[in-house]
Amino acid sequence: MDATFSTLLSRMQELKDLGGVIGLATWDQETYMPPKAHQARASQLATLQGLYHERLIDPRLGELLAKVAAASPDERAMVRVLGVERDRAMKVPAAMVKAMADAQSQALSGWRKAREAKDFEVFRPALEKLLALRREQADAYGYEAGGERYDALLENYEPGMRVKRLTPVLAQLKEKLVPIVEALCSAPPPADVFANKKFDVEAQWRFTVELLHAMGFDLEAGRQDKSIHPFTGGTHAQDVRLTTRLNEDTPLPALFGTIHEGGHGLYEQGFLPDHFRTPLASAPSMGLHESQSRLWENVVGRSRPFWSHFYSGLQKYFPSQLGHVSLDAFLAAVNKVEKTFVRVEADEVTYNLHIVLRYELEVPLLRGDLQVKDLEAAWNDKTKATFGLTPPTPVLGVLQDIHWAWGELGYFPTYALGNLYSASLYACAKRQIPTLEASIAAGDLLPMRDWLRKNIHNEGYRLEAEDRVKQVTGQGLTDVDFIAYLKDKYSALYGVKL
């Protein structure tokens, strides 16, 4: 390693360390921070993010990137990834970065208060300020001729994705899903085996920790806590923070929230030690990151092989509630397809329709064609048109997601892309490991984890997301595997031809 790259590497490590502290402060904000600390945390995060931005745009870093002679493919990839991040940061003034951090903290506080009051108007002023800053930021980033602001924000989460490509992908997916949803929702629904029962939250907690162990999540390099909205954060591959949500009326949010976040956590723990504290210790896109959580939550975690082993353990925790419920009845219940209000609790068949709904609101919000004052009504109209439902309260509608309080416009589509990637990756894993589902049925989840570790996690940000998937599976972004997976699984579960 030459002297210039060694100096550059120390700068990379410094940026990673700062990012880790920001991640830890943000995680604490959603878990243990006392309610009165919001303003203090807003100031702290604004300062830290300002420092990160200053380090990133430092002219000396630009000089190092310009003259460095990267010797290996990994070194060249590090330079490329950091160079792209720096180029984007150079376009955004430091004052805007600090203003955004403050606006995010204020919006989080406003969102919580609005949910408590069940009143969108409580959140509206903070969201208007945040949206104005995001528009300003998108304009600062710039976008290609013929493109639009949303492209600039998509780049934060799904590099290379553009509205002109994404819109037809989501439109085609919606077109294929609607008849499947209608067919399944017209069939006799499975029995609700969880109704009118109570599930001790501490027992739920203990079982979710068992699931994390089985998935191969290292609880000496991570932990699980509780939050309103489950998420994964942390500071480093050896300090990964998961959260889940507990509800005594049903164990489903905890079970599948933990499996979902565990999938994210395995990705974070799977980066190579040589990549620690460098730009390569990261996923190339949120869509690819989401493919890991959706693969574990749905493709593995809601499957017959998975529960043929783990269901007896769940029954031991809840003998009076589930001891008399058959595996078939349980599987039917956890895979129930229905039109509902809440995205995070939606089944995997209707889930992407929730994503399309949000996408169809975000794009006009960024354009300025939809005003925040009209957002709740627009949300309700689209929910009615898509699902035939009208939210009785904004908590079940426009206030249900934390993403807009974080200012994460452009993030939602990555969930749909993750679903598509997950099906393609799992289909490839089954081809390469003929005994995979037998291993899962025996309670051995490590072959699945190890295949993902080798093909996805260890690779970090060496390639862009679609290039990585294409290298592994032989094809890029497609809905073919996902639709085939849904039809095969739900035809059998519901006894209908799809």
Helical axes 252-269 vs 201-215, angle rounded to 10°: 30
Question: Would you give the DSSP letter of residue 390?
Answer: -
d(C-alpha 137, C-alpha 132), whole Å: 9
| Sign of the alpha-carbon dihedral angle for 290, 204, 319, 333 | negative
Say which residue the tokens 């975690």 belong to. 301
| Side-chain half-sphere exposure of 476, counting CA atoms within 13 A | 7
Pair of tokens at residue 258: 């933990």
- 399 CB contacts (<8 Å, ≥6 apart)? 111, 114, 115, 118, 120, 123
How far CA 271 is from CA of 4, 268, 294, in Å, comes to 25, 6, 19
Q: Distance between the two ends of the chain, CA-based, in angstroms?
A: 57
Q: Annotated catalytic, 261?
A: yes
Name all contacts of 161-167 with Cβ < 8 Å and 24+ positions apart.
161/285, 161/287, 161/413, 161/417, 163/363, 166/359, 166/413
Catalytic residue among 158, 261, 362, 466: 261
How far CA 13 is from CA of 399, 410, 494, in Å, comes to 37, 28, 52
Identify the helix (H) or strand (E) that includes residue 232.
strand 232-236
| Side-chain half-sphere exposure of 164, counting CA atoms within 13 A | 7
Point out the residues that are catalytic: 261
